[in-house]
Structure 1
Amino acid sequence: MVLKDITPENLDEPAEDTDRPKLGVRHLQSILIFFGFCVAFMQRVNLSVAIVAMMDRNSTNPNFPEYAWSEQTKSLVLSSFFWGYLLVQLPSGQLARRFGGKVMLLFSIGISGFLALLTPLSAQVGDWQLTCALRFLQGFCQGSIYPSTHTLLAQWAPPAERGILATICFSGPQFGSIIILSISGILAASKYGWPSIFYISGGCGFIWSFVWLLWGADSPRRSKLITTKERNYIESALAVISKSENNSTAAKLSTPWLSIFTSVPFWMLNILCCSYHWGYWTLMTQIPSYIKNVLDKDIQSNALLSALPYTANLVLGLCFCVLAQVLLSAKVLSINASRKIFNTIGMWIPMVAIIALGFVDVHRADLAVILLTVAVGTNSGTFLGGFVNHIDLSPNFAGTLIGITNFGATLMSIIAPLVVGVIVTDTTNPNQWRLIFYIMAVFYFIGNLVFITLGSTKLQPWNEPVKRGAKSEHIKDRAVAGDLEHI
């Protein structure tokens, strides 16, 4: 494969469309990952709505137990998933590089699905303590999903198509949230009760794992479905920005830890990810409780209203994706400008909506739902911003980078629900919720500010670290040359 010479300037321009297959296996991989995320988030979010039914002392379904957990206990149960998720973040990127994104994704979602099936039994047998332990294990299993996805995208997504392929993948969480939030109220009110919420999400995990085992692939070179034309297109496009021709070569590169942890663009991305996840998971875990206790909606309408913001997120994410692709293809925006503009849409519009939400009372419930929908819906702009910036900075170590940023982001995901449990002692008090919304707004403002001012989309020099053996040979060759010159 012949590598083209590149400069920092042309890295920031979209690739040419010459001989590009419009649709192909790269899109199939993104769609499969989309459904993988969908299933994973069904398993991750199911408890956020189910716990409302599990703690509902006015339940009309006597066949399933209700639990008298305090708000602090509820927050602990909801955050326990993230303790296991946190533990595996740092090594997960390395594992994805070593074993491949396909295998890691398969085990993550498959085992998490099995544990989802056991959740009702764990609550009945071991109360909140065993439920916390099981959710911890689920988080541990799902901890490698994002690093595995970034590792796969780095092999499948040509630079000009990173935005659209990544948006397809990262719209999966919203779709999964929509499904589980929409049906959970109906399931909880049915004769099968709240346990059916976990059975549905767990069963979907097994179905997806079987399909992924058949059609998923670590790279174009390992796919049995891809055409030669599409494989050559992807590999030649990736070769422009990386000297590593395939994932097996990239896997042999030593990780430049010092360069990564002293990189200013990477630290700005890290701050952005932490800020985003504070807001995202505060809303994800607390919207059902806010709608029930402040807006005074029952469990069934609660579930439907909780799903509405994520429906907007999915739809707007796809619209942003098309808009960004049009602007990039027409060269109206550079990749750098596109990342920062859409990330600003995804962080600062939600910030304004969340601040306004703090002033809405129970008598204006419709306005509160509209503001929640705007906040979560426009959040999808980050899919075209910070979410793909890991691959911009270093395709070879994208999985490692997302593992590091997810470590800090997961800490935020753990702390955020616990902060809600401390501040919101009376779940019907809108003033206490207002403080939660203000804290979210501060995180959104700071996170995007550092990204648009100090962040970068330039390929970092440490993406191609000199391998120890190659460095030794290089030094040896120079020594020999020096000796000959001296003679």
Structure 2
Amino acid sequence: MFKHFGVRHLQTLLLFGTMSVVYALRVNLSVAIVVMTDKHSNPDFEEYAWSEYIKGLLLSSFFIGYVISQIPSGYLSRKCGGKLLLLICLVSCSLLAILTPLCAAIGSWQLMLASRILQGVFQGSVFPAVHTILSKWSPVDERDLMSSCAYSGCQFGTFVMLASSGALAASQLGWPSIFYISGSVGLLWAAVFKCFGCSSPKECRKLSERERELIFSHWGNSELQVRRNTMNPPWSSFLRSCPFWALVIVHCTNNWGLWTLLTYMPVYIKNVLHMDIEKNALSSALPYFAMWILSFVFTAMSLWLQKRNCISLKTSRKLFNTIGHGTPALTLIALGYVDGDHVITAVCLLTITVAISSASYLGYQINHIDLSPNFAGILMGISNCLANITGIVAPLTVALIISNEKSVEQWRIVFFLASFLYILGNTIFLIFGEIEVQPWNDPTD
């Protein structure tokens, strides 16, 4: 555990806040679109008669832009620093969120589609930039805790946005307030991050010499670090690396399951479990609150096991990845046999499915830094690019499978498919995943 609160911990908290804001901006449409297309939810505001295909297209459109900017962002975050990219993302996505109701009013779904694609382009920089910053600030023995704290913002932002959006949509402010408030918070947080965030310890003037030495002691000698910083990315080595491809595959299968649930959970809860918009939003948010809490529980377990040398780091990565993939695979199978007469059971299974998957953040999620601290941002850019293609494919696949949103049998196919992919990805990671720093991380003599 930390002996004292240092600047590196402040950077972790800033990254937590940044992840919370960007995920709130990412998921604000998931509940809003349910209200926007239902004239009975709030008749005082405009309702749009969009088909299920159009709704699926809007929900997946974010990822069209998201995958485009992943790899360039990984390269730019290494060259320009992660702070600049995160600031551009926060300001741009916040402004686009505020303009979303206007886009829907003057350009219907077509202009909203363009806006969501553009938001995806800007948010494509988030994970590569955060990975790059963490690789600079986190000593090896604090990597699990700092990474988990930073990335737990994903669940916290999702929970806050989903929990509040139902009440906002049902209020006098109506569904436009979902976008106005999330966008305004994003602009405020950008100002905070601008004042206190730093891309690396070298840029931070308030860093004590003791903390500087602690962080730099894990980087190797200064000459080696200079040579690392001037290295060109060994692209061919990335593509020939079996451990990296195992990481990419498990990242893809994890994203399929999570984004299927994230984009369609409000639809499932409304049509199968028959909940109104406020209860729908709270039920959709509950799994992400539980996921946020459990991310700290799993981190404490990991630190406890490592402190007592119970298991190796490699075993720890694969153990927590198996917990985070195997449990959701089982609960999704069970969920496929639950109908609208067993609402509590369905909500419990949904909560377990999403919450337990937080264990995988101690598995594949930080494996990029294990394999190559020097190129962690670029590796994240590559894997996140390929993984989030599933963010495009998964909602569209669900839209093709679900012709009747009230059909338990059709939802069963959706859940079984996600379960199979969870098992497949984890099996490949167990066989081929590694944690050793790869030879191509350092310059050759």
**Which TM-score band (shorter chain)?**
over 0.9
Picking from 85, 90, 100, the partner of 1:119 is: 100
Deviation at 1:21, TM superposition (A): 4.3
1:41 aligns with 2:23: yes
SS at match of 1:192: coil
Picking from 202, 217, 227, the partner of 1:236 is: 217
For 1:90, the equivalent position in structure 2 comes to 71
SS at match of 1:339: helix
1:307-318 correspondence to structure 2 within 5 Å? 307-318=285-296
Picking from 417, 420, 429, the partner of 1:451 is: 429
Q: Distance in 2 between matches of 1:66 and 1:400?
A: 42
Matching residue's letter, 1:50: A
Q: Distance in 2 between matches of 1:403 and 1:411?
A: 12
Q: Distance in 1 between matches of 2:172 and 2:211?
A: 50
CA contact (8 A) 1:292 1:302 kept: yes
Matching residue's letter, 1:300: E
Q: Distance in 2 between matches of 1:345 and 1:365?
A: 25
Picking from 267, 273, 291, the partner of 1:289 is: 267
For 1:368, the equivalent position in structure 2 comes to 346
Deviation at 1:221, TM superposition (A): 2.0
The 10-residue stretch of structure 1 (220-229 or 174-183) with the greater mean CA deviation from structure 2: 220-229
The 10-residue stretch of structure 1 (229-238 or 42-51) with the greater mean CA deviation from structure 2: 229-238
Q: Distance in 1 between matches of 2:191 and 2:43?
A: 35
Quickly say closer, same or farther: Cα 1:243–1:323, change in 2 above 3 A: farther
Deviation at 1:225, TM superposition (A): 2.6
Runs ≥4 residues deviating over 6 A: none
Deviation at 1:455, TM superposition (A): 0.5
Highest Rg: 1 or 2? 1
1:349-388 correspondence to structure 2 within 5 Å? 349-388=327-366
Percent of pairs identical after alignment?
A: 46
Deviation at 1:134, TM superposition (A): 0.3
Deviation at 1:245, TM superposition (A): 2.9
Q: Distance in 2 between matches of 1:90 and 1:350?
A: 29
Q: Distance in 2 between matches of 1:35 and 1:322?
A: 21
Output one character per residue of 1:175-216: Cα deviation in whole Å (capped at 9) or x when no partner.
001101111011001111000000111111111111111111
Normalising by the residue count of structure 1, what TM-score does the alignment of the two structures yield? Answer: 0.90
Output one character per residue of 1:15-44: Cα deviation in whole Å (capped at 9) or x when no partner.
xx9xx7432111111111111010001100
Q: Distance in 2 between matches of 1:121 and 1:277?
A: 31
CA contact (8 A) 1:61 1:191 kept: no
Normalising by the residue count of structure 2, what TM-score does the alignment of the two structures yield? Answer: 0.98
For 1:22, the equivalent position in structure 2 comes to 4
Quickly say closer, same or farther: Cα 1:350–1:233, change in 2 above 3 A: same
Matching residue's letter, 1:187: L
Picking from 47, 53, 56, the partner of 2:38 is: 56
Q: Distance in 2 between matches of 1:195 and 1:186?
A: 12
For 1:481, the equivalent position in structure 2 comes to none
**Paired positions, count:** 445
Deviation at 1:89, TM superposition (A): 1.2
For 1:177, the equivalent position in structure 2 comes to 158
Quickly say closer, same or farther: Cα 1:104–1:399, change in 2 above 3 A: same
CA contact (8 A) 1:243 1:464 kept: no
Deviation at 1:108, TM superposition (A): 1.1
For 1:245, the equivalent position in structure 2 comes to 225
SS at match of 1:69: coil
Output one character per residue of 1:58-115: Cα deviation in whole Å (capped at 9) or x when no partner.
13432x1001001000000111110000111121110101110111111112211111
Q: Distance in 2 between matches of 1:377 and 1:103?
A: 32
1:162 aligns with 2:143: yes
Deviation at 1:244, TM superposition (A): 4.1
CA contact (8 A) 1:61 1:193 kept: no
Deviation at 1:238, TM superposition (A): 2.9
Picking from 351, 355, 377, the partner of 1:399 is: 377
Quickly say closer, same or farther: Cα 1:425–1:109, change in 2 above 3 A: same
CA contact (8 A) 2:42 2:174 kept: no
Picking from 196, 200, 206, the partner of 1:225 is: 206
For 1:326, the equivalent position in structure 2 comes to 304
CA contact (8 A) 2:87 2:193 kept: yes
Q: Distance in 1 between matches of 2:228 and 2:92?
A: 28
Q: Distance in 2 between matches of 1:465 and 1:200?
A: 47
Quickly say closer, same or farther: Cα 1:52–1:219, change in 2 above 3 A: same
Matching residue's letter, 1:377: A
**Unmatched 5+ stretches in structure 1:** 1-16, 472-487
Picking from 187, 192, 208, the partner of 2:173 is: 192
Q: Distance in 2 between matches of 1:339 and 1:29?
A: 24
Output one character per residue of 1:446-468: Cα deviation in whole Å (capped at 9) or x when no partner.
111111111000100000133xx
Picking from 96, 100, 117, the partner of 1:136 is: 117
1:211 aligns with 2:189: no
Q: Distance in 1 between matches of 2:274 and 2:418?
A: 23
Q: Distance in 2 between matches of 1:110 and 1:389?
A: 29
CA contact (8 A) 1:21 1:230 kept: no
Matching residue's letter, 2:260: T
CA RMSD between the two structures? 1.3
Quickly say closer, same or farther: Cα 1:60–1:114, change in 2 above 3 A: closer
1:266 aligns with 2:244: yes
Q: Distance in 2 between matches of 1:161 and 1:129?
A: 46
Quickly say closer, same or farther: Cα 1:65–1:387, change in 2 above 3 A: same
